[in-house]
Amino acid sequence: RRLGPSRLEVGPAVHARVLAPTRAMVRVLLCGDVRGDLGKVCEHVAKMHSKLDVAQHFQAVFCVGEFSAEDMDLEHRPPIPVYFVDSGPACGDLVEASPQGEEVSDNLHFLGHFGVATVAGLKVAYLSGRRHEELFKEEAEAEDDAAAD
């Protein structure tokens, strides 16, 4: 049986253990390439929220892949916090201007170049950018040469 707010459980063998506090489930929405169309993300979140009970609403949206585009539409205000990493055209500028991340506008957050952040109670590891084949070509060739020896 469980007793009061201390969440103490007493078993049949007259021993007790303290239970971990129950945590509410964190609901997040993950999306891929936005390619500058923040309005579409906002529209989808609003549409999904209209079909769900308030208790089932998402606490955050995580966008991965190509968030930026040559033609960005950032006039929309997301209804919930949107966190993104980027591998699109603006990635280099974002990382150079704010390697530790920044709030780009209300409810829109660039996580940064790389790191770990706590979002909606979740620890999130992130990495912005894209693998540049030329940068890794010499390393791969050196590994091949070492394996041949």
pLDDT at 133: 76
d(CA 110, CA 117): 11
More reliable by pLDDT, 36 or 13: 36
Question: How confident is the model over 86-107, as a mean pLDDT?
Answer: 94
**Per-residue pLDDT reduced to its tens digit, 23-81:** 678 899 999 999 999 999 999 999 999 999 999 999 999 999 999 999 887 889 999 99
Give this prediction's pTM. Answer: 0.74
Supply φ then ψ for residue 148, to 5 degrees. Answer: -75, -25
d(CA 84, CA 110): 5
pLDDT at 105: 93
